[in-house]
Amino acid sequence: MKNIILAPSMLSANFNYLEKDIEMINNSDADWFHLDIMDGVFVPNISFGFPVVKHIKKLAKKPLDVHLMIVNPEKYITEWKNAGADILTVHYEACNHLHRTVQEIKNAGMKAGVSINPHTSVKLLEDILPELDLVLIMSVNPGFGGQSFIKQSLKKIKELREMANISNPSLIIEVDGGVDTKNYKEIVNAGADALVAGSAVFGSANPAETISKLKL
């Protein structure tokens, strides 16, 4: 197995004991904090905003991987940088001017990612792929944690890896949704470099141990 980036999703953390969960991730083998930002418009749920991200940034000892599931993400690029985002991912489906948005993210000093929903073809990313640091493949319908992995996502991961090998070999392919200790090897073998895990980590008896297992 290659060296996998593991990004626990804070959406599944216990917000009554948020500092405790942040410290667990700091001391674990995890690489990033994954933060899902939902507006109740682009997806049918609302999560958290700038104040929570700023609070996590103060305590986190690892990069913040911020995933915007919101409409008009281009309006808030500077604010997310100021809140502490190290990687900022926007949705293909939410951006009318994707290339411009990606450049603005980079100009703000963050790594730029683009995410696609389960129904969106990776072929639509062909023109923007050379400009990206990361592509996030949603392997569940975005908006809620605890969903089952959509098996068709494996084909999309393989297809994207083949595209990236031609135009952007250093591209990080991240997968979010239904990732657990039973399917992670299959996802990595398909071409994924980074795994987002929420329920699988925070719902386990020993989250730090589960994180380590997902990196083996």
- pLDDT value at position 144? 64
pTM exceeds 0.85:
yes
Q: Which of 36, 65, 133, 193 is catalytic?
A: 36
Please list the rounded mean pLDDT of every run of 10 residues in the chain (216 residues).
90 93 98 96 91 97 97 96 98 96 98 97 97 97 76 97 97 96 96 96 96 93
Q: What integer pLDDT is reported at residue 216 of this predicted model?
A: 83
At residue 145, the pLDDT reads: 63
| Cα separation, 204 vs 93, whole angstroms | 33
pLDDT value at position 146? Answer: 63
Out of 31, 133, 176, 193, which one is annotated catalytic?
176
pLDDT value at position 62? 98
51: tokens are 């104040």
Domains defined for the chain, CATH in brackets: 5-214 (3.20.20.70)
Residue ranges with strand state E in the chain? 5-8, 33-38, 64-69, 87-91, 111-116, 134-138, 172-176, 194-197
**According to the model, what pLDDT value does residue 1 have?**
53
Give catalytic status of residue 133 as yes or no.
no
**Residue 29 annotated among the catalytic residues of the structure:** no
